[in-house]
Amino acid sequence: MEGAKMKKYRVAVIGTGYIGAVHCEQLLRLPNVMLAGVADKNPRLASEAAQQFGAEKIYQNAGEVIADRTIDVIHNCTPNNLHYEINKQALESGKQVFSEKPLALSAKESSELTRLAEKKKAVTGINFCYRYYPVVQEAAVRIARGEIGTVYNIMGNYLQDWLLYPTDYSWRLDASMSGASNIVGDLGSHWCDLAQFVSGLKITEVMAELKTILPVRKRPKNKETLTFSAATDSEYEDVKISLDEYCALLLRFDNGASGTFTTSELAAGRKCNIDLQVYGSESSLAWNHERSAELWLGHRDKPNQIFFESPNLQAPETRRFARLPSGHPMGYMDAILNLFRDFYQAIELKEEDKKPDFRLPDFQAGHEEMLILEAAIRSRESGAWAKIGSANI
Ligand SMILES: NC(=O)c1ccc[n+]([C@@H]2O[C@H](COP(=O)([O-])OP(=O)(O)OC[C@H]3O[C@@H](n4cnc5c(N)ncnc54)[C@H](O)[C@@H]3O)[C@@H](O)[C@H]2O)c1
């Protein structure tokens, strides 16, 4: 924006734990954003974030942020049980809202938020960040232009090991904070979003096995246990676990394709292993987060290929996501930055009465994941296939 002064959106981040700090750091990389404030239930974390990322103000609580009319955009990085209320109040106060996933604790709540966002004409975003690796965007464009033919099968997994030991504990295992599911709402929502985004297909039915592998865990006493932090305390209390740590889904897609998805947080050695394989009538595509700059192109009658992310070789509409010269891999932080860029561009476009020509993960995408999650729980209970509920409930 040469000459003219660029508008800077005043942004506040609520929840400055693991992912809130990531949000703060990436917001600093955007020219049209200023980190106006942070809030956290834990004053130490809020003050550390304010200091580290140069936030103008530390708010006492979420309500104070929402009441501040100078704040344009809220990033909601609190635990799951707070997403609905904070998102709702932020929308009602006329702010644009970027929420962490899952969007809410139920499809009823996520549907309400989606309708409210429409009514308020708000720009919304949800952090399905894995879409934003350059070659993931490339895969979606290649499939949309028919490069692999008709999609027959979509398979994959999302595996981690941070809950392997009985002494590993997180609020994510507490139903009052996490919701009706731990792993389907967490890792499952990412993978299902990725599968739908890359293939351009919608999941219509699921058959689910959800499992609690360790029904009793040891929770550290007197400890602020942040996600992904290892417990070091010698004093623990036994706590019963009812939420899922493992899940396997059989999937049906709206073009007749079938799929399978497995996820576990007790898979020793797997840190953030997201694997997506799409098999078509002509060829196939595969992506794995542990080699996130590479897209595998599988052929029947010629040698397979590895396509490396590239600002020169990718489809023109995906080049803006590959912002380093070929051979310099981008990473997780860059994927989140790519998503934030699209989100803030969508806000700018809205102000010019224009619609984006890109597919931003918004509250509707968050709502779709809630519908899949609820179908998985229904299937676990009935032992039968469960249809994904209507997106308009
Ligand atoms: N998109 C992703 O890839 C991704 C990755 C990690 C986490 N997440 C999501 O982000 C959310 C937070 O997860 P996390 O791993 O950062 O958890 P965390 O426990 O590290 O951080 C949560 C923070 O929220 C704060 N908090 C709790 N109640 C609050 C309140 N009432 N007001 C203000 N702050 C409050 C806590 O003090 C803590 O600092 C979860 O919903 C999770 O699903 C998404």
* Domains in the chain: boundaries: 9-129+347-361, 130-330+368-386
Domain 9-129+347-361 is in which class?
alpha beta
Q: Are 318 and 141 in contact (CB under 8 A)?
A: yes
Tell the residue nearest (CA) to atom 39 of ligand 1: 17
Residue 16 CA: which ligand 1 atom is closest?
Answer: 39
Q: How far is the CA of 259 from the centre of ligand 1 (A)?
A: 31
pTM of the model: 0.95
Ligand 1 centroid–CA 76 distance in Å is: 8
* Residue from 59, 77, 182 whose mutation best tests the ligand 1 pocket (most atoms within 8 A of CB): 77
Mean pLDDT of 144-172: 97
The Cα–Cα gap between 75 and 63 comes to 13
Average pLDDT over residues 57-77: 98
pLDDT of residue 1: 45
Mutating to test ligand 1, I would choose from 13, 14, 19, 44 the residue with most ligand atoms within 8 A of its C-beta, which is 19
Rounded to the nearest angstrom, the distance between the alpha carbon of 385 and the centre of ligand 1 is 32
CB of 380 closer than 8 Å to CB of 386: no
Please give the backbone phi and psi of residue 242, each rounded to the nearest 5 degrees, phi first: -115, -15
pLDDT (0 to 100) of residue 21: 98
| Ligand 1 pocket test target in 171, 227, 339 with most atoms within 8 Å of CB | 227
19 CA to centre of ligand 1 in angstroms = 6
Q: Which two tokens stand for residue 17?
A: 């734990």
pLDDT digits (tens, 9 = 90+) for 231-270: 555 688 999 999 999 999 999 999 999 999 999 999 999 9
pLDDT of residue 226: 55
Residue 6 is predicted with a pLDDT of 82
Alpha-carbon span 387 to 367, nearest angstrom: 15
The pLDDT of 110-115, averaged and rounded, is 98
Query: How do residues 165-219 score in pLDDT, each as one tens digit?
Result: 999 999 999 999 999 999 999 999 999 999 999 999 999 999 999 999 999 999 9
Centre of ligand 1 from the C-alpha of residue 171, in Å: 10
Quote the tokens at residue 120.
Answer: 């308020």
Q: H-helix or E-strand containing 196?
A: helix 189-199
| Ligand 1: residue whose CA is nearest its atom 43 | 101
DSSP annotation of 328:
S
Q: Is 76 helix (H, G, I), strand (E, B) or coil?
A: strand
Mean pLDDT of 328-332: 95
Q: CATH fold of 130-330+368-386, please? A: Dihydrodipicolinate Reductase; domain 2 (3.30.360)
**Residue 62 scores a pLDDT above 70:** yes
Within a 13 Å sphere around the CA of 211, how many CA atoms are in the beta-carbon half?
12
Ligand 1 mean position, distance from CA 176 (Å):
14
The yes-or-no verdict on residue 146 having pLDDT over 50 is: yes
Please report the pLDDT score of residue 97 as a whole number: 98
- Strand residue runs (E) in the chain: 9-14, 33-39, 57-59, 73-76, 96-99, 124-126, 151-159, 203-211, 216-220, 236-240, 246-253, 258-264, 273-280, 284-288, 294-298, 305-308, 386-387
Q: How many CB atoms lie within 10 A of CB 84?
A: 22
User: Ligand 1: which residues within 6 Å by Cβ?
Assistant: 14-20, 39-42, 45, 61-62, 77-80, 82, 100-101, 127, 129, 186, 226-227
Q: What is the DSSP letter of 234?
A: S
**Lowest-confidence region among 75-89, 223-237, 338-352:** 223-237
